[in-house]
Amino acid sequence: MSVAALVYRNPTQESRATRLALTVLAIGFVALFLLLPLVSVFANGLANGISGARAALSNSDTLSSVRLTLIVAAIAVPCNVAFGIAAAWAIAKFDFRGKSILSTLIDIPFSVSPVVSGLVYVLMFGLQGWLGPWLRDHDIRIIFALPGIVLATMFVTFPFVARELVPLMIDQGRDEEEAAVSLGASGFKTFLFVTLPNVKWGLLYGVLLCNARAMGEFGAVSVVSGHIRGLTNTMPLHIEVLYNDYSYAAAFAVASLLAMLALVTLVLKSFLEWRFADEIAATHRH
C-alpha cells in the first residue's frame, strides 16, 4: 500500500463509541465521588427540617466557629498573598543563589502532613516547647489561641498564591519590567502598573484557592487549637465535635454551610472565567 493511499487520522480523533464511553466514565466518577457526597451532606443537614438546620446554625458555638473561621481566613490569606507575590517576583524576575532552594521550600506544605506541621508549632510555642517558658513569662499565648490557628493555617496555605504566580511570571519574561525601569519607573511603580496587570487573574485564582483551603483546614488547626468550644473551634473542628456528640443533623447543617462557602468560591471563579475569558486568554498568550 502506498503512502498516498493511507488515510490521515487526527491522533486525538476517536470513534463515537470511545468518546461516549469516556464521557460516561468521567461523568459517572464526578457524580459518584463528588456530587453524591455533596447532595448527601445537604440532605442530612435538613434531616430535622429547615427549622432544625436554622437552630443548629444559630447556636452560639456555631456562630463562634463561623466568626473564628472568617477571622483566620481574613488574616492568613492576605499574609500569603504578600508572601506569594514576593516569592514569585523573586523567583521569576531575579537570578540569585538559593533560587532553586526557595522554589523547593515553597512546596513543603504539599508534602508534609498538616498534622505534622501542627505538632511542629506545638514543639516551638507550647508550654514545654522551645519558646514556651519565655512566652509564659511574658503572658503570650500562641498555642490554643488565635495566633497558633493563624500560623498553622498560613503554613498549609502559603504555596497556593506563589505556585499560581511563578509559572505565569516566568512565562511573561522580564522585558516589560526592564523597559519600565529603563524609562525611569521605580520598582514599586513597575510592579503596580506593569507586572500586576499581567498577573491579576492568576493572583485572583490563587487567592480564591488559598481562601477555600484556609476555611476548610482541619489537621494542623486541630493540633494547635485545643478544641475549646466557643473559643478555638473553627467550622471543621466544630463539625467534628457535633458529630462525636451524636448531633448528626447539626453537624451536617454546619457542614452544609461550609460546603456552600466552598461552592461560592467555585461559582465566583467560574463566573470570572466566563466574564473575562478573552482577557484571561490574552494574558496567557502574552
Where do runs of H (alpha helix) occur along the chain?
16-30, 36-45, 49-57, 60-93, 99-105, 108-111, 114-125, 132-137, 146-157, 159-172, 175-182, 187-190, 196-216, 219-225, 235-244, 248-275, 277-285
Q: What is the rounded CA–CA span in Å between residue 110 and residue 156?
A: 8
Burial-class residue 69 by CB neighbours within 10 Å (0-12, 13-18, 19+). buried
- pLDDT reported for residue 250: 92
- pLDDT reported for residue 12: 59
pLDDT tens column, 87-96? 998 888 888 8
Q: What is the rounded CA–CA span in Å between residue 162 and residue 102?
A: 11
Among 280, 271, 138, CA closest to 202: 280
Q: What is the rounded CA–CA span in Å between residue 63 and residue 31?
A: 32
- pLDDT reported for residue 177: 81
Cell of residue 260, nine digits? 456552600
pLDDT tens column, 140-152? 999 999 999 999 9
Higher pLDDT, 183 or 75: 75
pLDDT tens column, 103-144? 888 989 988 899 998 999 999 998 888 998 999 888 999 999
Indicate the SS3 state at residue 170. Answer: helix
- pLDDT reported for residue 266: 80
- Is pLDDT above 60 for 283? no
pLDDT tens column, 191-231? 888 888 888 888 888 898 899 899 999 999 999 998 888 89
pLDDT tens column, 142-184? 999 999 999 999 999 989 999 889 888 888 888 888 888 888 8
- pLDDT reported for residue 144: 92
pLDDT tens column, 230-264? 899 999 999 999 999 989 999 999 999 999 988 88
**Please, are residues 84 and 275 in contact by the beta-carbon 8 Å criterion?**
no
Average pLDDT across the chain, whole number: 86
- pLDDT reported for residue 34: 83
Share of the chain above pLDDT 90, in %: 36
Among 237, 232, 238, 239, CA closest to 148: 232
Model confidence at 276, pLDDT cuts 50, 70, 90, reads low
